[in-house]
Structure 1
């Protein structure tokens, strides 16, 4: 069975018919796992900053000897900015 059969539906799109800022994340992760890096970026431009953010969050909980706080905040802000810009771009070009 393909991984697409197990994906969660977007409630925003289901209820209101409009994509949310996170639409495409699951498909982008699947594309990323298949090695389709360019397609993953086109599906969800914030995929790389999202992966890095979760990597640093994981390191923050595992490695208590280092302080990842500023890096996590920076990555979260960068991720949010990319998500907002790509959402606006997607909404104005369709």
Structure 2
């Protein structure tokens, strides 16, 4: 599966990771059931998954508080991405 993953253009051009580096590998680890490794690879995978699930369900079945749930998950996801990227840069 990893041989079909897209390379990070930011890393190829500029030589350092972008905010999305690790997402594909974390998704592959999550599919294989390696939950802790997926978290260490890309912590936002655990907020992105329900975010995409709620967006997909809301597309087919409109429910009452979908916009609040989507906004909350989106803000939480962005915060996790920024914090984990900052920690990765510092270390």
Same fold (TM over 0.5): yes
Describe the superposition over 1:37-81 as per-residue Cα deviations: whole angstroms up to 9, x where unpaired: 000000001110010110111011011243411110110000000
Cα distance in 2 for partners of 1:71, 1:65 equals 10
TM-score of the aligned structures, taking structure 1 as reference length:
0.93
RMSD between aligned residues: 0.9
Q: Which 5+ residue runs of structure 1 have no aligned equivalent?
A: none
Where in structure 1 do 4 or more consecutive aligned residues deviate above 6 Å? none
Cα distance in 1 for partners of 2:45, 2:68 equals 20
Q: Which 5+ residue runs of structure 2 have no aligned equivalent?
A: none
Q: Aligned pairs, how many?
A: 91
